[in-house]
Amino acid sequence: MKSYFLRRCGWWILPSVLLTAYTPGWADAPTERAARLAAHYSLDKPEGNGPFPAVMLVPGCQGFSPPLWKGRYERATRRLKELGFAIVRVDYLAAGEVSTCEVIMNPAELADDIATAMKYLRAQRFVKPEAINVLAWSYGGGAALNALTKTESREPVQVAAVVAYYPHLALARPWSVDVPALVLCGADDTVAPCERFEALLAEVPTRERVKVVKYPESYHAFDNSDLPAKTVSLSGNAVGYNEKSAIAAWAEVEKFLRR
């Protein structure tokens, strides 16, 4: 019954075995890709001309639209706007014309999308170019951390800070760019275990710039109040909302972004 419920609501936890797959159709010419990404930007900002600090929202595997996720991103947008931030949604799924990350297995392109969105924000007069941050979840969190690495096509994305809820670390690589990062994870998360991130950090030269907060009795998606306290995903992993952890984690997010 629970699996049927999650299937109907668009829930999917990406099986780790798929993380090495690659879908050729996902790769496009950079200009075409950037244009499709820009067509789906959803921008919000406080009243006035600014300039405002900004946050790029990067969603998890199901994107911004499915019922069990939509509310989470709307709440984050509203809270950030109240704090004085301009917000843009980096909808990599819509840009790729797909509905789930399970068919998007090229982490480098997701990181490139973040770099593209950063350039877009820097071109806006109401945005402080030196105060552009990333707030990402799960699959998007792994991509955000991946954006801090150098590739053949781009330099590391020089954002002000990265905040990642339970990032998928199969997408991340050790980075050396001096960017503060906050990672929020659940102690009982079997989708993106904290231990994997701690192992990655051992290879990050700027380790002192990274803060990791682990929340007890918390599963993957512990911050999503649209979920029940505990249920089982189609991949067999426990997921669910933990109100105490969610409140504490958002307090960390606010403090980190406003430092």
Q: What is the pLDDT of residue 11?
A: 37
For the segment 56-106, what is each residue's pLDDT rounded down to a tens digit?
999 998 888 888 888 999 999 999 999 999 999 998 887 777 777 776 657
Distance CA 72, CA 40 (A): 18
Out of 29-33, 56-60, 136-140, pick the least confident: 29-33
Nearest to 182 by CA among 89, 55, 42, 29: 55
Q: What is the pLDDT of residue 31?
A: 79
Which of the pair, 17 or 256, is modelled with greater confidence?
Answer: 256
Q: What is the pLDDT of residue 37?
A: 78
On average, the pLDDT of the chain sits at 83
Phi-psi region of 50 (alpha: psi -120 to 50; beta: other; left: phi over 0): left
Is residue 39's pLDDT more than 80?
no
For the segment 220-251, what is each residue's pLDDT rounded down to a tens digit?
999 999 999 998 877 778 989 999 999 999 99
- Contact status, residue 103 vs residue 20, Cβ threshold 8 Å: no
Q: What are phi and psi of 160, to 5 degrees?
A: -75, -35
Class (C level, CATH) for 2-13+27-257: alpha beta
Q: What is the pLDDT of residue 42?
A: 83
Residue with tokens 């906050």: 182
Nearest to 19 by CA among 112, 111, 105: 105
